[in-house]
Amino acid sequence: MIEKSKSPHTYSPENLGDLLSLYKSMPDALVYGGGTYILKNQKREFLSLPENVIYLKRVEELNRISRTERFLEIGSSISINRVLSIGKHILPAALYNCLLGVGTPGIRNLATLGGNICVRDRRMDTFPLLHLLDARVELRKAGGSRWIQINRLFDSEGKASLQPGEILTRIRIPFDEWNVQVYHKLGSRAREGETTLSFCGLAKTQKGVINDIRIAYGCLGKQILRNREIEAELSGLKVPINIKDTASAMELLKENMDKIGIAISNFQKKRAVSFLRLFLLRLAEV
Amino acid sequence: MNIRFTLNGQDVLIDVEPERRVLNILREDFGYFHARGTCYTGECGACTIFFNGEIAPSCLIPAFTLRESKVITFEWFSETEDCQDIIKGLADAGYESCKYCTPARILVIHALLENNPRPDEDEILRALSGMRCYCSDYTSLIEGVKNAGLIRNRRR
């Protein structure tokens, strides 16, 4: 007979001050936003939760969205569907498509943007894209706050740079004129592993020349794959990109995927190259 | 843990373990059996309820998040005119209802029609993408949702 473990102590602070002081006093507590990732692999009636759980949904400051001419700022406890409700004309097109691919409509009502970024054991859907968009995140703890680039949230081995008692409170996404934005995802939340892959591509073209181009791959465990060598090679080229340059970029990607220390299946490699080719073809349509 | 929340329009106070799933609370403590548990990962959609006005899989909602929330189950919703519109719309299109997933599907369709009274085929399929029961043909389901939207618009 399976014995039920002791029930956790749960806390629902209603403002940021209470949340930070509570988290300071118990830095080992589980910070619970939507909980969709935490509960994903639990099948029993009684959920397995740590001794202390801090529920974020009631913290008013984490549920705000604000917008200026230069950026959009989203509270970390905002649900994915609420971010989508900002609208496709305001959100970057690739981000809108990316968010539509997160879970199911019901899950998106529970899952939060902060949670999608903060999961420690894998980089979720939005992470590579927000990285390309130069998003910044605000980290706060009792007595201090700091803004960092989202790519600095985890080190190269995927370890979080959050200090004890520190919490992600806001995500700032700059508005930038990316005239080509592509997001593709293979596989689903239910099938993570060797058959999943996401592709994010952003480009700025002017008078038929690529001014800036960024490419990243996600769904690869704790890391994302961004290759600046390919980006540098493609920048400055005229669109449509000729066959030789396209083949060269694809070759470079293949070489790099073999060199880097991320475990990528052959299926993922093939699809990664296909996504790059489709993206480069798409540039010609601008 | 004592939790006060609104269930189907009535204030209730329950004493439950905070780590219990709302799905189990609804079924075992309140006898609301239309929310069904299968996957316990939120993927199949059969346990869908309205949680604070939005559809959500009740298997992914722990009891401690219920405090001061509003929960609506199919049992309550089935008494409304909105539900009857959907049932009629689906029946007119020849949709054969499945005892397993139809209650959850109806809640999802209601949520869709509230935001978008005239959804197109893509929007319907996207809204229903959270349902993993393969009981019905999608042609009649899509037609049924469109019918339901028209019936509801006429009535309102």
Query: Are the Cβ atoms of A49 and B19 closer than 8 angstroms?
Result: yes
Q: Which of A32, A45, A190 sits opposite B43 (nearest CB)?
A: A190
Q: What is the pLDDT of residue A265?
A: 86
Q: What is the pLDDT of residue A190?
A: 58
Q: What is the pLDDT of residue A3?
A: 54
| B12 and chain A in contact, CB less than 8 A | no
Q: How far is A20 from chain B (nearest CA, A)?
A: 19
Neighboring chain A residues of B17 at a CB cutoff of 8 Å: 4, 7, 46
Neighboring chain B residues of A8 at a CB cutoff of 8 Å: 18-19, 64
* Architecture label for domain A180-283: 2-Layer Sandwich (3.30)
Mean pLDDT of B127-146: 89
- pLDDT at residue B22 greater than cutoff 50: yes
- Cα separation, A116 vs A127, in Å, equals 8
Domains of chain B: 2-77 (3.10.20.30), 81-155 (1.10.150.120)
User: B interface mutation test: which of A11, A32, A39 has the most B CBs within 10 A?
Assistant: A39
Q: What is the pLDDT of residue B85?
A: 97
Whole-complex ipTM: 0.95
Residue of B37, B10, B9 whose CA lies nearest to B22: B37
Task: Tell me which fold the domain A61-174 belongs to.
Answer: 3.30.465
Side-chain-side CA neighbours of B69 within 13 Å: the count stands at 23
Q: What is the pLDDT of residue A1?
A: 46
Q: What is the pLDDT of residue A187?
A: 79
Residues 6+ apart with CB under 8 A from A254: A269, A273
Q: What is the pLDDT of residue A222?
A: 83
pLDDT in tens, chain A (286 residues): 455 668 999 999 999 999 999 999 999 999 999 999 999 888 888 899 999 999 999 999 999 999 999 999 999 999 999 999 999 999 999 999 999 999 999 999 999 999 999 988 888 999 999 999 999 999 999 999 999 999 999 987 778 889 999 999 999 999 999 999 999 998 765 566 667 899 999 999 999 999 999 999 988 888 889 989 999 999 999 999 999 999 999 999 998 888 777 778 888 999 999 999 999 999 988 7
> Taking each helix axis from N to C terminus, what angle separates B81-92 and B138-155, rounded to the nearest 10 degrees?
140
Q: Could you write out the three-class secondary structure of chain A?
A: CCCCCCCCEEECCCCHHHHHHHHHHCCCCEEECCCCCCCCCCCCCECCCCCEEEECCCCHHHHCEEECCCEEEEECCCEHHHHHCCCCCCCCHHHHHHHHCCCCHHHHHHCEHHHHHHCCCCCCCHHHHHHHCCCEEEEEECCEEEEEEHHHCECCCCCECCCCCCEEEEEEEECCCCCEEEEEEECCCCCCCCCCEEEEEEEEEECCEEEEEEEEEEEECCEEEECHHHHHHHCCCECCCCHHHHHHHHHHHHHHHHHCCCCCCHHHHHHHHHHHHHHHHHHCCC
Q: What is the pLDDT of residue B130?
A: 87
Q: How far is B39 from chain A (nearest CA, A)?
A: 8
Q: What is the pLDDT of residue A188?
A: 66
Mean pLDDT of B118-143: 90
Closest chain A residue to B57 measured between Cα atoms?
A: A106
- Cα separation, A101 vs B126, in Å, equals 10
Q: Spell out which chain A residues touch chain B, with contact meaning CB-CB distance below 8 angstroms.
A: 4, 7-8, 10, 12, 32, 35-36, 39-43, 45-49, 53, 55, 57, 79, 81, 100, 103-107, 109-110, 189-190
- Cα separation, A183 vs B151, in Å, equals 37
Return the C-alpha torsion angle B48, B50, B51, B55, nearest 10: 60
Mean pLDDT of B58-69: 96
- Cα separation, A199 vs A216, in Å, equals 6
Q: Which of A7, A12, A109 sits opposite B56 (nearest CB)?
A: A109
